[in-house]
Amino acid sequence: MMRACVIGNPVSHSKSPLIHRYWLEKYKIPGTYDALAVAPENLEAEVEKLVSQNYSGFNVTIPHKEKIIALCDERDESAKKIGAVNTVVIKDKKLRGLNTDAFGFIENIKTAQPGLKLEGAAALILGAGGAARAAVSGLLDADVQRILIANRTREKAEDIAADFSTNKIEVIDWNARETALGDIDLLANTTALGMKGQPELEISLGNLRGNAAVCDIVYAPLETALLRAAKEKGNKIIPGIGMLLHQARPAFQAWTGTMPEVTPELEKRVLA
Ligand code: NAP
């Protein structure tokens, strides 16, 4: 029996209950998955309750992704590298923290553009928040040759380069993002720009190579202005909804032993 939930504040917008309940039904696994609003000051007490109620684990969303680390007894490599936990597995009253965003980022690329070779490729990441760290971690594991990072606040990009400590990462100025497009195989927007209610990402794709792919991890709207511009230019695109769906898979597997699939039906339900 899987007993899980997502904790966050706010949490009502989360698509995780819909995704995990779909898989419970599809794979005929008995279980429950709820959304639990948890204020920052109640985090520790609420987590203790989940442990005492024999939960299999839980997902963690804003604003708890970093604070939860201190409550975990152990963390997997991905959570350590990214510096955030989005999934917790409870076993023998112990908490193991995972981060599945890097997996989700890479699986989304592989599924949306199976012909895109990441090994040896050069990527430009826009942004230097938690999602950018996950993208960098996934791309390094996929053996890309070079990662350029451009962020409005340059120091945050420098921090990522220092934390991953590899000469594959190069930080460039936010204002140099258009010039860099001529040197890359993959452009990934990991900023909040382009999301509903946020300003648009300002970037002209004039320098982008014809065979480069463009990924936007923003999924509301489904097709951002960035993806539309890339499509109009004839470039391959990778929408962010796939990352949202794929990042949930390792969590479900950790709690149930079954690695679930992302199906067109699931995608339809999440978009509805
Ligand atoms: P975060 O840690 O808060 O980082 C936000 C990033 O956006 C920072 O790099 C920030 O730059 C940049 N930014 C925000 N406003 C900006 C502006 N006006 N001009 C330039 N840059 C700006 O957030 P996150 O967790 O990394 O998430 C980023 C986005 O990815 C969100 O929209 C989130 O919904 C989405 N996301 C999607 C998935 C998925 O599954 N598809 C997963 C995770 C996240 P500064 O450092 O200069 O502030």
CA dihedral 162, 126, 123, 177 (to 10 degrees): -110
Residue-level pLDDT at 96 = 98
Q: Is the pTM of this model over 0.85?
A: yes
Residue-level pLDDT at 56 = 98
Mean pLDDT of 142-166: 97
Helix (H), strand (E) counts: the chain:
10, 12
Residue-level pLDDT at 95 = 98
Rounded to the nearest angstrom, the distance between the alpha carbon of 221 and the centre of ligand 1 is: 15
Note the pLDDT tens digit of each residue in 198-245.
999 999 999 999 999 999 999 999 999 999 999 999 999 999 999 999
Which residue puts its alpha carbon closest to atom 44 of ligand 1? 131
How far is Cα 124 from Cα 146, in angstroms, rounded to an integer?
Answer: 9
Find out whether the beta carbon of 83 lies less than 6 Å from any atom of ligand 1.
Answer: no
Please give the C-alpha separations between residue 32 and each of 14, 66, 210, 219, in angstroms, as whole numbers.
15, 25, 46, 26
Mean pLDDT of 75-86: 94
Note the pLDDT tens digit of each residue in 12-38.
989 999 999 999 999 999 999 999 999
Indicate the DSSP class of residue 147.
E
pLDDT band for position 61 (50/70/90)?
very high
pLDDT band for position 89 (50/70/90)?
very high
pLDDT band for position 93 (50/70/90)?
very high
State the residue for tokens 């899980």: 4
Give me the catalytic one of 15, 65, 233, 236: 65
pLDDT band for position 160 (50/70/90)?
very high
Which residue puts its alpha carbon closest to atom 21 of ligand 1? 152
pLDDT band for position 53 (50/70/90)?
very high
Mean pLDDT of 89-101: 98
Among this protein's residues, is 15 annotated catalytic?
A: no
SS3 174: helix
Residue-level pLDDT at 104 = 98
Mean pLDDT of 159-186: 97
Contact residues for 199 (Cβ-Cβ < 8 A; gap 6+): 193
Which residue puts its alpha carbon closest to atom 46 of ligand 1? 153
59: left (phi over 0), alpha (psi -120 to 50) or beta: beta
Do 35 and 12 meet the contact criterion of CB atoms below 8 Å apart? Answer: yes
How far is Cα 112 from Cα 75, in angstroms, rounded to an integer?
Answer: 29
Average pLDDT taken over every residue of the chain: 97
Rounded to the nearest angstrom, the distance between the alpha carbon of 217 and the centre of ligand 1 is: 9
Find out whether the beta carbon of 192 lies less than 6 Å from any atom of ligand 1.
Answer: yes
Residue-level pLDDT at 75 = 97
Rounded to the nearest angstrom, the distance between the alpha carbon of 52 and the centre of ligand 1 is: 35
Indicate the DSSP class of residue 69.
G
How far is Cα 203 from Cα 13, in angstroms, rounded to an integer?
Answer: 29
How far is Cα 28 from Cα 117, in angstroms, rounded to an integer?
Answer: 36
